[in-house]
């Protein structure tokens, strides 16, 4: 039986390397059978990233693929490789095949690594100087507590994996719109890197072109919220207080994240609430980081933080969150950040995307005929339900923790923040449960609710002991009310019935089309 986790193999994976390796994976000339290493049929991919399927047509009159994937980031590349292994003819269209330069998507949680293992892609985090991460450390007001992933009960053995391969075509181009006929998506309009406008058709088009997707409005009701921005730095040649751990500093006005991204580099992400950040060009950002942020940084890395500011390689990026609100559309499906986003505080984005790919792979696996768009759409509605418990737990935790960890002028908010720090510092079940949720190892919605309100009740208990008073009772009531106002709107946006009672959804037991 495949081990759920490789003990110690909880990886911080630089997403740049992960994307590149995933893209290389779908371009390999051979795909091998497990331990027997039997080489199978070659993928039809040429040196310029383009290939020709039988009966391919540049005019788009004939379908040259079973599935079109828009976007070759982590989600698109992993999905293409997975479907290719299952024998599908897959065409991937990516706007820019050069090395991406991003400041988030670098943390792969244990739950995400599990999904890589399920997909046979765990080698994608090898040879990119990925760092082992065993948990988190929290810092507040000069105090710290270490939260380790609960890995002690898992073995390290890994069994072989067998698969057949399909054909994957990776092409550079910009998708401009969907090809729609009578409400059914038939493919995409796209422009090649040479400026040639073409049409690609397939029975199923999967849109996973990221947070800036220009196609999502046709397939969902996007309600994008931007609660804050990240200011990113790379700290060089420094040691974090807790080796092989991510670090969260409960700073004012909002959290600071630190984690290793290579053997010599540490990523620092400073969260700034709202959509407006100090100007980098006129020096306001450097002054802000030195005067407001640096005093709150752990002393062990203070010098490296100041050095990174003076080097001037400072980047910013808005943090987006967007609940999944799809329009079931014949011939098309949304995936990845084009479909669903959460605050990146907990590093759950890749875990959600890879979990969704596993769900979608299992749904598509028994289908050989994708040419009945109405029946296929009806069947794939179950995808939106089956993904909910895992995805929504990670989404809700990210949003709730961000609000709890951010500074507040409200006394109840400050008490909730302190209660959370103290609760996690208790260790044992009090830290193992939340860290298992955060890591994607045990993404159960009910556990999230129980621990969240356990923190709130713990906070009330702190207020009332040793001698309760009317003022403290009033503050405790406000704390419970504030906790409810944090988590319930997030759960409502995710869909309470789908999250907690998925088996009551009509699509849960949806049978596959009868023509299969």
pLDDT at residue 39 above 70? no
Residue 280, token pair as written in the block: 């980098």
pLDDT at residue 20 above 90? no
pLDDT at 168: 74
Residue 320, token pair as written in the block: 């987006």
Domain annotation for the chain: domains and CATH numbers: 67-125+160-223+322-371 (3.50.50.60), 225-321 (3.30.70), 395-500 (no CATH)
Tally of CB atoms within 10 A around 386: 22
Residue listed under structure tokens 């406000």: 478
pLDDT at 100: 66
Q: Is 38 exposed, middle or buried (0-12, 13-18, 19+ CB in 10 A)?
A: exposed
Give per-residue pLDDT as tens, 275-305.
999 999 999 999 999 999 999 999 999 999 9
- Pick the most confident of 6-10, 22-26, 85-89: 85-89
pLDDT at residue 37 above 50? no
- When pLDDT is cut at 50, 70 and 90, the band that residue 30 belongs to is very low
- When pLDDT is cut at 50, 70 and 90, the band that residue 5 belongs to is very low
Q: Is 315 exposed, middle or buried (0-12, 13-18, 19+ CB in 10 A)?
A: middle
Q: Is 194 exposed, middle or buried (0-12, 13-18, 19+ CB in 10 A)?
A: exposed
**Over residues 148-173, mean pLDDT:** 55
- When pLDDT is cut at 50, 70 and 90, the band that residue 105 belongs to is low
- Which phi and psi (to 5°) does residue 117 adopt? -65, -45
pLDDT at residue 26 above 80? no
**Over residues 150-169, mean pLDDT:** 45
306: Cβ–Cβ under 8 A, 6 or more apart, which residues?
Answer: 290, 294
Closest C-alpha to 488, from 403, 423, 408: 403
C-beta of residue 42 within 8 angstroms of C-beta of residue 129: no
Higher-confidence residue: 168 or 298?
298
Going from the C-alpha of 116 to that of each of 11, 90, 124, 154, the distances in angstroms are 11, 20, 8, 17
Tally of CB atoms within 10 A around 58: 12
C-beta of residue 86 within 8 angstroms of C-beta of residue 366: no
- When pLDDT is cut at 50, 70 and 90, the band that residue 22 belongs to is low
pLDDT at 154: 52
Higher-confidence residue: 55 or 256?
256
Residue 156, token pair as written in the block: 């390290």
Cα separation, 15 vs 351, whole angstroms: 13
Q: Name the strand (E) or helix (H) holding 282.
A: none
Q: Which residues of 450-488 are buried (b: 16+ CB within 10 A; e: fewer)?
A: ebbebbbebbbebbeeeeeeeebeebbebbbebbeebbe
DSSP per-residue string spanning 67-92: EEEE--SHHHHHHHHHHHHTT-EEEE
pLDDT at 334: 95
pLDDT at 167: 63
70: Cβ–Cβ under 8 A, 6 or more apart, which residues?
Answer: 76, 93, 175, 188, 205, 206, 207, 208, 209, 215
pLDDT at 25: 53
Closest C-alpha to 161, from 126, 119, 127: 119
Residue 396, token pair as written in the block: 């809700």
pLDDT at residue 58 above 90? no
DSSP per-residue string spanning 283-350: SHHHHHIIIIIGGGS-GGGHHHHHHHHHHT--EEEEEEEB---B--BTTEEE-GGGT-B--GGG--HH
**Cis amide leading into 240 (omega within 30):** no
- Which phi and psi (to 5°) does residue 134 adopt? -110, 0
| Least confidently predicted of 121-130, 293-302, 425-434 | 121-130
**Cis amide leading into 466 (omega within 30):** yes
Cα separation, 418 vs 413, whole angstroms: 9
Higher-confidence residue: 30 or 300?
300
Closest C-alpha to 288, from 296, 278, 297: 278
Give per-residue pLDDT as tens, 332-355.
999 999 999 999 999 999 999 999
DSSP per-residue string spanning 364-429: HTT------HHHHHHHHHHHHHHTHHHHHHHHHHHHHHHHHHS--SSHHHHHHHHHHHHHHHT-TH
Give the 3-state secondary structure of residue 33: strand
CA R_g for the chain: 24
Cα separation, 224 vs 94, whole angstroms: 23
């Amino acid at each position: 039986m495949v081990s759920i986790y490789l003990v110690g193999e909880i990886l911080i994976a630089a997403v740049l390397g992960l994307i590149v390796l995933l893209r290389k994976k779908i371009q390999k000339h051979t795909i091998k059978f497990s331990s027997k290493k039997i080489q199978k049929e070659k993928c039809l991919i040429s040196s310029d990233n383009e290939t020709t399927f039988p009966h391919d047509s540049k005019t788009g009159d004939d379908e040259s693929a079973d599935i079109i994937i828009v976007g070759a980031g982590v989600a698109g590349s992993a999905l293409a490789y997975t479907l290719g292994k299952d024998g599908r003819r897959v065409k991937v269209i990516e706007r820019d095949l050069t090395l991406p330069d991003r400041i988030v998507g670098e943390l792969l949680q244990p739950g995400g690594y599990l999904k890589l293992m399920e997909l046979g892609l765990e080698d994608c985090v090898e040879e990119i100087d990925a760092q082992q991460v065993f948990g988190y450390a929290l810092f507040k007001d000069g105090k710290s507590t270490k939260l380790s992933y609960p890995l002690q009960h898992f073995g390290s053995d890994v069994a072989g994996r067998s698969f057949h391969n399909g054909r994957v075509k990776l092409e550079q181009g910009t998708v401009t719109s969907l090809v729609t006929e009578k409400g059914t998506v038939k493919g995409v309009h796209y422009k090649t890197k040479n400026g040639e406008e073409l049409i690609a058709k397939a029975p199923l088009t999967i849109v996973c072109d990221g947070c800036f997707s220009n196609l999502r409005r046709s397939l969902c009701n996007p309600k994008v919220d931007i609660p804050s921005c990240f200011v990113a730095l790379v700290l060089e040649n420094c040691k974090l207080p807790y080796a092989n751990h991510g670090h969260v500093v409960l700073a004012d006005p909002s959290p600071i994240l630190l984690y290793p991204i290579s053997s010599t580099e540490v990523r620092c992400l400073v969260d700034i609430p709202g959509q407006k950040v100090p100007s980098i060009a006129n020096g306001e950002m450097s002054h802000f980081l030195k005067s407001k942020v640096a005093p709150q940084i752990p002393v062990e890395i203070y010098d490296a933080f100041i050095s990174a500011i003076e080097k001037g390689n400072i980047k910013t990026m808005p943090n987006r969150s967007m609940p999944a609100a799809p329009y079931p559309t014949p011939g098309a499906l949304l995936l990845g950040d084009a479909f669903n986003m959460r605050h990146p505080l907990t590093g759950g984005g890749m875990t959600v995307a890879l979990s969704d790919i596993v769900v979608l792979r299992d749904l598509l696996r028994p289908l050989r005929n994708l040419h009945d768009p109405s029946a296929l759409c009806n069947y794939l509605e179950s995808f939106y339900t089956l993904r909910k418990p895992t995805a929504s737990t990670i989404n809700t935790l990210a949003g709730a923790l961000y609000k709890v960890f951010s500074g507040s002028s409200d006394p109840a908010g400050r008490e909730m923040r302190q209660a959370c720090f103290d609760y996690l510092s208790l260790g044992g079940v009090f830290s193992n449960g939340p860290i298992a949720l955060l890591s994607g190892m045990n993404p159960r919605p009910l556990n999230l609710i129980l621990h969240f309100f356990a923190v709130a009740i713990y906070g009330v208990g702190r207020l009332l002991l040793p001698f309760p008073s009317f003022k403290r009772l009033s503050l405790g009531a406000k704390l419970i009310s504030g906790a409810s106002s944090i988590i319930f709107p997030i759960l409502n946006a995710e869909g309470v019935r789908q999250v907690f009672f998925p088996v009551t959804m009509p699509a849960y037991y949806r049978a596959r089309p009868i023509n299969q």
